[in-house]
Amino acid sequence: MIKSPPITTAAAFLANLMSPVTPPSNRIQDYVLGPVIGYGGFSVVHKAHHHLRINHVRAIKVINKYAMSDVDLHRFKRELTIWKSLCHPRIVNLQRILRRTNNNKHEIYLVCDYCPGGTLLQLLNKLTCLPEHHAKRIFKELCQCVHYLHIDRKVCHKDLKLENVLLDENGHVKLCDFGLAIYQRSRENKRGTREPVGGSLAYVAPEQLQVAVPLACPKTDIWSLGVILYALVVGQLPFMDTFDLRLIQKIQDGIFEMPTFLSLPLQQLILSCLEKDPTKRPSIDQLLKYPWLQL
């Protein structure tokens, strides 16, 4: 079973601790909130349905804005700006932003697609690992989504991991959580943002470990894709340790076990994604042309 790696407490990788969100009333405008299906750094995600159409199901993310620091609030505003600009069949669609005042607090609710297939992490916890043909379909869809982000929108996701890849009712990929996403080139990035690096350490590229601010480089996403692909076909993460500093060293060394039962084209693809030198790592365009994805 793959366990969700804890967000690191080492160096700049300080955890965004789960802040309590005051339970909202059951009705939010046209929607009735149902059970909790997920948590974020400053949010709780509910399954919800339209009050007149019970089969009209959505996910609603309830935001605890008041627990956010100035940096967190800046990230949240950027997340909304980026998320609202995205339109792709493999990305969870942000449909509406609802606001209301409750007990003198201004509450924010993000209405988005509901994905009944759960996350890739949940899928692997059921199946352990996937056969290559199944992993290939999922991974190719994820790469097509990342291609849209990198090429069409000039955005780096910065938090690609099993928990952030959802599956819809037909088993197709839906990427979510743009809380750490940044534009590849912007005035903010050129000045050098002072915000800390977030995300799950087990997925972080080695070059990102060497600096204390987020790198607006798409090659960091390629590394994370390699970690996800490895987990899909092997059933565990390539770099694991219970101690953050040892895990950082393992990632920087870039040494991991490659199972011999994987096909050679698949091994080549994983090794390319997990290349320590980002200049030798493929771009998303190059990645989609690898032989394993063409077979």
Catalytic residue among 70, 152, 159, 244: 159
pLDDT mean over 88-98: 97
| H-state helical runs in 86-182 | 120-127, 132-147
Tokens in use for 235? 């059933």
Question: What's the pLDDT score for residue 113?
Answer: 98
CATH superfamily of 118-293: Transferase(Phosphotransferase) domain 1 (1.10.510.10)
Question: What's the pLDDT score for residue 24?
Answer: 53
Alpha-carbon gap, residue 79 to 164, rounded angstroms: 14
Alpha-carbon gap, residue 23 to 232, rounded angstroms: 35
pLDDT tens string 235-274: 999 999 999 999 999 999 999 999 999 999 999 999 999 9
Annotated binding-site residue? 163: yes
Highest mean pLDDT (candidates 22-36, 66-80, 253-267)? 253-267
196 CB-contact burial (10 Å; exposed 0-12 / middle 13-18 / buried 19+): middle
pLDDT tens string 173-220: 999 999 999 999 754 555 545 677 888 999 999 999 999 899 999 999
Question: What's the pLDDT score for residue 12?
Answer: 36
The answer to whether the Cα torsion of 14, 18, 19, 21 is positive or negative is positive
Annotated binding-site residue? 164: yes
What's the predicted TM-score (pTM) here? 0.89
24-113 sits in which CATH class?
Answer: alpha beta
Give the confidence band of 21 by pLDDT, cuts at 50, 70, 90.
very low
Question: What's the pLDDT score for residue 186?
Answer: 58
Annotated binding-site residue? 61: yes
Query: What does the domain layout of the chain look like in residue ranges?
Result: 24-113, 118-293
Answer yes or no: 159 catalytic.
Answer: yes
Question: 57 by DSSP, 3-state: which?
Answer: strand
Give the confidence band of 89 by pLDDT, cuts at 50, 70, 90.
very high
pLDDT tens string 166-186: 999 999 999 999 999 999 975
